[in-house]
Amino acid sequence: MRLSATTVTVLKLGTAQTLAWASTYYLCAILAAPMARDLGLDTATVFAALSMGLLVTGILGPRAGRAIDTLGGKPVLALSNALFAAGLVLLGNAHSVYGLFAAWLVIGIGMAGGLYEAAFAALVRIYGTDSRNAITGITLLAGFASTVGWPLTAALEHWLGWRGACFVWAALHGVIALPLNLSLPNCQASAGVQTGAANAPAQETRPPVQWRTAALLGLVFAITWFVSTAMAAHLPTLLAASGVSVAMAVTAGALIGPAQVLGRLTEFSVLRHIHPLWSARLASALHPIGATVLALVGAPATFVFAVLHGSGNGIMTIAKGTLPLALFGPQGYGERQGVLMLPARLAQALAPWLFGLCITRWGAGALWISAGLGMLASAALWLLGSHADADQRTDSTADAASPEGTP
């Protein structure tokens, strides 16, 4: 059976994204302890270097998005592979805290143009408003980044040491990810498919800034990334504080990955027929429901919480790509995505530390913090519809009153 051009693109970009996430964001979960021992540091310092890299990623995200809007995704994604490889080589050669932070600085620059936001922007440059299914396909594949990356990194560390593991990941970027990204279609190649951009009226070449809608969307993304990162960093500790056994906590943690894939499959098969705003509203409600049930019921609700949290996180990952496209259109998508994700990257960098303080002070009561944040995000999404309509009416009035808005 011959695969469609879109499917081939999704397979290429999804594979490259899996490698990118596994060798950067998920790396410290396995290598932080051996790095710290070898460098004479504590593991908190290693994670601080990762947080610094995430801050750099957030700051540079709008610039990377602007570059994709201008040049297309291929050159930016390919450059990210070169930066990943260089940063991982630096990391493998680090012998002090300065070398550690320098390596994560380079990796952070690469992440600005090499993770989901860049991949989504690259797809929008190719397919325009028809990008939703392709974005979902990318997240389905890259959703296995930790499933594949953690065991592989652990095996490499066992065979070659943590430095050797970094060198192998660097080589994989050059041998696999870079050729895959370089083989992506040019943005002009699918102009016929790019319905949103090709058929846009002249006055939409430079979309108006819809500040209220953008502010609410930025708040939603910041909250959901904070909660997601906090759970990824502290889930075993949080479950233990809730009276869950170690074995059950490990099993619950293992359920989150498949639950994320389940959520993305649901988006691909069912939710794609509705507006992304409704998908996002559903996704934002799942963590608060699961956290409330776990806080009230305790250990027996552990698996319910894991499935609800993972499913919501999986759907929301897609919504972060499709919702801005639906609300603002394809023009200037890359830069706008970088701006919208800047608060999310900052929240992500701070989440392990801040939520750790919450657990230290309140124990299982920290679940009410994450549930409350989730309800705030859900409320913002319900406000988003009315604010988006108000912004659209305001922008339409402004266009009608200006010479550029005249047909």
Tens digits of per-residue pLDDT, 349-384?
Answer: 888 888 888 988 898 899 999 999 999 999 999 998
Provide the pLDDT for residue 387. Answer: 53
Give the rounded percent of residues in the chain with a pLDDT score beyond 70: 89
pLDDT in tens, 9-21: 999 999 999 999 9
Indicate if 278 and 387 belong to the same structural domain.
yes
> 227 and 303: one domain?
yes
Please name the residues in contact with 350: beta carbons below 8 A apart, sequence gap of 6 or more: 51, 226
Domain end among 143, 175, 198: 198
pLDDT band for position 240 (cuts 50, 70, 90): confident
Q: Are residues 238 and 179 both part of a single domain? A: no
| Whether residue 400 has pLDDT greater than 70 | no
275 DSSP assignment: -
Nearest in space to 13 (alpha carbons), one of 100, 61, 81, 69 = 81
Q: Do residues 29 and 150 both lie within one domain?
A: yes
| Residue 92, H or E segment | helix 73-92
Task: Tell me which residue of 275, 264, 292, 278 sits closest to 373, measured CA to CA.
Answer: 292
User: If you ran DSSP here, which 8-state letter would residue 331 be given?
Assistant: T
Angle at which helix 5-22 crosses helix 145-172, to 10 degrees, equals 80
From residue 80, alpha-carbon distances to 14, 122, 276 in Å are 15, 13, 29
| Within-domain flag for 204 | no
Both tokens of residue 191? Answer: 């102009």
Which of 253, 219, 230 shows the shortest CA–CA distance to 348?
230
Burial 214-234 (b: 16+ CB within 10 A, else e): bebbbbbbbbbbbbbbbbbbb
For 314-323, 338-347, 391-400, which range has the lowest pLDDT when averaged over its residues? 391-400
Residue 177 lies inside a defined structural domain of this protein: yes
Tell whether 162 and 266 lie within a shared domain.
Answer: no
> Is-contact 237 357, C-beta < 8 A?
no
Same-domain pairing of 321 and 223: yes
Does the structure show a pLDDT above 60 at 204? Answer: no
Same domain for 135 and 222? no
Query: Is 256's pLDDT higher than 80?
Result: yes
What's the rounded mean pLDDT across residues 237-247? 86
Query: Distances in Å between the alpha carbon of 212 and those of 215, 322, 324?
Result: 5, 18, 13
**DSSP state letter for 96:** S
Domain containing 56 equals 5-198
The amino acid at 385: G
Check residue 244 and give its pLDDT.
Answer: 87
Q: What pLDDT was estimated at residue 386?
A: 57
Has residue 318 got a pLDDT over 60? yes
Domain-embedded: residue 407 = no
From the centroid of its chain, how far is CA 115? Answer: 7
Q: Are residues 174 and 219 in the same domain?
A: no
Residue 205 lies in a domain: no
Q: What is the mean pLDDT of residues 282-293?
A: 95
Report how far residue 22's alpha carbon sits from residue 285's, in angstroms, rounded to the nearest whole number: 28
pLDDT at 374: 96
> What average pLDDT does this structure show over 57-69?
93
The pair of structure tokens assigned to 96 is 């002090």
pLDDT of 217 strictly over 70: yes
- Is residue 91 predicted with pLDDT exceeding 70? yes
**C-beta of residue 319 within 8 angstroms of C-beta of residue 276:** yes
Higher pLDDT, 26 or 374: 374
Handedness of CA 130, 133, 134, 139 (dihedral sign): positive
pLDDT of residue 21: 93
Q: What are phi and psi of 265, to 5 degrees?
A: -65, -35
The DSSP-derived string for 24-51 is TTTTHHHHHHHHHHHHT--HHHHHHHHH
Task: Give tens-digit pLDDT for 121-134.
Answer: 999 999 988 898 99
The pLDDT value given to residue 403: 34
Last residue of a domain, one of 164, 198, 232: 198
Instruction: For residue 203, tell me if it sits in a domain.
Output: no
What tokens does 333 get? Answer: 């998508």
Q: Quick check: is 91 in a domain?
A: yes
406 occurs within a structural domain: no
Spell out the residues 6+ positions from residue 158 whose beta carbon is closer than 8 angstroms to its own.
Answer: none
Same domain, 171 and 284: no
pLDDT-above-90 percentage for the chain: 56
Say if residue 84 is in the same domain as residue 139. Answer: yes
Joined together, the tokens standing for residue 137 give 């396909």
- State whether 134 and 247 are in the same domain: no
**What would the mean pLDDT of 85-109 be, rounded to a whole number?**
97
Number of domains in the chain: 2
Judgement on whether residues 342 and 287 belong to the same structural domain of the protein: yes
Domain end call among 163, 198, 233:
198
Residue 405 domain-assigned?
Answer: no
Domain containing residue 47: CATH number:
1.20.1250.20
Model confidence at 202, pLDDT cuts 50, 70, 90, reads very low
